Amino acid sequence: MGDPAGVGPEVCLELLANEEVASTCVPIVFGDREVLDRCAEVTGRPKAERQVEEAGLSKCDGPAVFSVPSISLSDFEPGTVNAATGEAAYAYIDRAIQLALAGVIQGVATAPINKEALRAAGYPQPGHTEIFAERTAAAKSCMMLTADILTCSFVTVHVGYHEVPNLLTKERISEVIDLTRDAMKRLCGYEPKMIVCGLNPHAGERGLFGNAEEEKVIIPAIESARASGADIEGPLPPDTVFLDWRREQTDAVVCMYHDQGHIPMKALAFDRAVNTTLGLPFPRTSADHGTALDIAWQGKADAGSLTEAVTLAAKLL
């Protein structure tokens, strides 16, 4: 359900009422039933009709709520940052991970959490990607954003720019290329065409810019992938990778750092993008937007991104 003070509750309610989603999978919202019911009253969203207990999860055949009591309505105000809502959001995630690892549920799509609230509750992870990787003990993982017109995966994510060069190794870049290739094969049904971005301006201009990261680690990773049969090109300057004509010929772009791919994704497909964590033992996707505290519990939130996230998780099964 995400952070109770954000738009998570209302987009989850909208999701449960979506007949198209119900035709592709059985959506079950992990969250506080009391919070969802109150949100429905305040926003006019459809009230969740069905609740399921743990013993009935594996046999559940329709949209439902799995209540994870973690917070009271008196503990928070919608639209505000609160340690209590950070604690609750983590509790929903943790319970879903437990049941996914046990095979009770097949995949997880997450509504947005608030990093400040999470930190106030004592959880140091900067986002969903890191929480899922840590809790599942994934040997390797990465973030991938996907929409109808663009897919990007990331070698580094929630770190400062000054840390990025030291985190770029041939091994890490190869991991992300391999994870992206495997995921896109499942989604596309064929060998995907991939592009790898350079780190420096003009992809380094053969060592003129930066510390020769392209020559030292990026090109060797690309050559290794190509030797294994990957259809891959790069490193290319990121300022031209996302031009229309190039995107139309490309299935996925491997980016070196957060904003290298997030900026074009948000500019081109803000309401349609889905965040996926690759490398986990089960599909995990997420709406690609934040808690939007400024419009939370006002009936204004769009459930489109979460709907796409659930649909993609079902495709990845």
**pLDDT tens readout for residues 150-184:** 999 999 999 999 999 999 999 999 999 999 999 99
Mean pLDDT calculated for residue range 269-276: 86
- Tell me the percentage of the chain whose pLDDT exceeds 90: 90
DSSP designation for 192: P
**Alpha-carbon span 172 to 37, nearest angstrom:** 44
CB 238 within 8 A of CB 255: yes
CB 298 within 8 A of CB 45: no
**CATH code reported for the domain at 141-279:** 3.40.718.10
Q: What is the pLDDT of residue 204?
A: 79
Do 1-138+281-317 and 141-279 show the same overall fold? yes
**pLDDT tens readout for residues 22-61:** 999 999 999 999 999 999 999 999 999 999 999 999 999 9
**CATH code reported for the domain at 1-138+281-317:** 3.40.718.10
Residue-range domain boundaries for the chain? 1-138+281-317, 141-279
Sequence-ordered list of residues with C-beta below 8 angstroms from that of 285, at least 6 positions apart, any chain: 107, 108, 109, 110, 274, 275, 276, 277, 309, 310, 312, 313, 316
Q: Which pTM does this prediction carry? A: 0.86
C-alpha 259: how far from chain center:
15
**Alpha-carbon span 190 to 228, nearest angstrom:** 15
